[in-house]
Copies of this chain bind each other. A is one copy, B any other.
Amino acid sequence: MEDLAEFYSASARVMTRSLIRELLKLTRRANVISFAGGLPDPSTFPVDELKAITALILEREPHLALQYGPTEGDPRLREELVRWMAKDGIAATRDRVLITTGSQQGLDIIGRVFLDPGDVVVLERPSYMAALQVFRSYRVEMVGVPQDDDGLRPELLEETLAALARSGKRVKIIYVVPDFQNPSGVTLSEKRRQRVLDLAREYHTLVVEDSPYRELAFEGAPPPPLAALDGEGRVIYLSTFSKTLCPGLRIAWMAAGEDLIQQCVTAKQAMDLCCPAFTQAIAAEFCAQGHIYTRIPPITALYRRKRDVMLSALTREMPKGVTWTRPQGGLFLWVRLPEGMDTEQLLGPAVEEEGIAYVVGSGFHADGTGKNTMRLNFSYPSEENIEEGIRRLARLVKRRLPTLTPAP
């Protein structure tokens, strides 16, 4: 037939494939130590509880759990999520929650409902790669604001918003991952959270708060969610059970004002009618039995230990000129090689010569910068593999270190 590309939409023409997910395939085939994924450690999966709960659901309510369900999601699950979010100070109600297939679907719904080509989304630099992907598919302009160890720098956010306003551009959304950010691992301070909200009000934008890692706190809870500080329904809050229960049920949710959620429900109806009733019934029962509340401490203890192993190995192995973040939670840390090094060029040798993988940092930058950076995941590999993998990575970096000439 005719050339398929003739048929593609403008959106399809700008879509990009996730480097991470492509890489995951590679590392699954090869026998490599991978710091590339963002997978939970499967030893944390609550297999016994899920066995009992699936059996119960299929005994008690097969007519409901195997049938179509409401687009909004299982009402019992939404009730449980209201309770779950209340512990973080978010005052939701059932009608202000929409169940989604991963937070990724929440982002896509937000794109569908709010974004037109040419709109502007302001986000952290670096930012979550799959968010860049979905926003890009809506053909918006993405503007990155640098972070430091306390997250997004508000004075630069203000400058950015002011400059965009002067140039007549419409900023619809400020997108932030405030807790143990993917990819950098840094957390937005409370003062800055308030400042982001103030700026959103001043510049008439929505705030999308994407918080998949919030529960995985190694040194005490992070500051309150922006959604808890928000007094006027400006924040759309995204969360998920992928990192706390397991990813394989794909249970995530959006919480926002009721009108906004209603519009998102309309969009989701056209997108997939509803999420599986079965997985939602399981998640609701898992919460109702209280497991979600008791299982977080052992998970964070495990990931804290793995983070510590990775930090120690980096300190021990890495040459001068290499720096990294010290995340207080989450799954990732962020490494900066000396300027002039290119982690994309380094990836082939990393896989082939050293049998290790990471994610190239430029993929997290809307503007393609960050060439000397990489993201490392510490939740999935074993402690032994973290030690060994960092040893190999450091060996490679040393081998490739440029002969640095002092700046003039």
Nearest CB of B to A24, in Å = 8
Complexed CA–CA distance, A104 and B101 (Å): 14
Q: Which of A108-116, A174-182, A302-310 contacts B (4 or more CB under 8 A)?
A: A108-116
CB under 8 Å from chain B, chain A span 250-288: 250, 257, 259-260, 263, 266-267, 269-279
Q: Which of A45-53, A149-157, A188-196, A363-371 contacts B (4 or more CB under 8 A)?
A: A45-53
**Cβ contact within 8 Å between B272 and A114:** no
**Cβ contact within 8 Å between A250 and B271:** no
**Residue of A8, A66, A137, A204 with most partner-chain B CB within 10 A:** A66
Q: Which of A15-23, A219-227, A331-339 contacts B (4 or more CB under 8 A)?
A: A15-23
**Cβ contact within 8 Å between B102 and A133:** no
For residue A68, CB closer than 8 A to chain B, the reply is yes
Please give, as numbers and ranges, the residues of chain B lying within 8 Å of A37 by CB-CB distance. 68
Closest Cβ neighbor of A116 among chain B residues: B9
For residue A65, CB closer than 8 A to chain B, the reply is yes
For residue A400, CB closer than 8 A to chain B, the reply is no
Neighbour of A269 across the interface among B69, B133, B257, B279, CB < 8 A: B133
Please give, as numbers and ranges, the residues of chain B lying within 8 Å of A55 by CB-CB distance. 51, 54-55
For residue A134, CB closer than 8 A to chain B, the reply is yes
* Contact flags A17-42 to B (C-beta < 8 A → 1, else 0): 11001000100000000000101101
Neighbour of A272 across the interface among B234, B250, B257, B263, CB < 8 A: B250
Nearest CB of B to A207, in Å = 10
**Cβ contact within 8 Å between B279 and A276:** yes
Closest Cβ neighbor of A7 among chain B residues: B114
Complexed CA–CA distance, A10 and B140 (Å): 13
For residue A404, CB closer than 8 A to chain B, the reply is no
**Cβ contact within 8 Å between A112 and B201:** no
Number of interface residues of A (CB under 8 A): 85
**Cβ contact within 8 Å between B248 and A104:** no
For residue A233, CB closer than 8 A to chain B, the reply is yes
For residue A246, CB closer than 8 A to chain B, the reply is yes
Neighbour of A266 across the interface among B17, B59, B116, CB < 8 A: B17
For residue A249, CB closer than 8 A to chain B, the reply is yes
CB under 8 Å from chain B, chain A span 89-126: 100-102, 104-105, 108, 112-116, 119
Nearest CB of B to A354, in Å = 25
**Cβ contact within 8 Å between B45 and A273:** no
For residue A172, CB closer than 8 A to chain B, the reply is yes
**Cβ contact within 8 Å between B112 and A18:** no
Neighbour of A130 across the interface among B64, B133, B270, CB < 8 A: B270
Given contacts A4-B260, A136-B270, 17 further A-B pairs with CB under 8 A are A2-B204, A4-B259, A12-B263, A12-B266, A15-B270, A40-B67, A47-B58, A47-B66, A50-B58, A50-B62, A51-B55, A54-B55, A65-B248, A66-B249, A68-B248, A101-B101, A137-B270
Offer 10 A-B interface pairs, CB within 8 angstroms, sorted by A: A4-B260, A6-B204, A7-B172, A11-B116, A21-B70, A67-B248, A104-B270, A112-B137, A136-B270, A271-B271
Minimum-distance CB pairs A-B, first 7: A66-B248, A66-B246, A248-B277, A42-B63, A105-B272, A101-B272, A134-B270
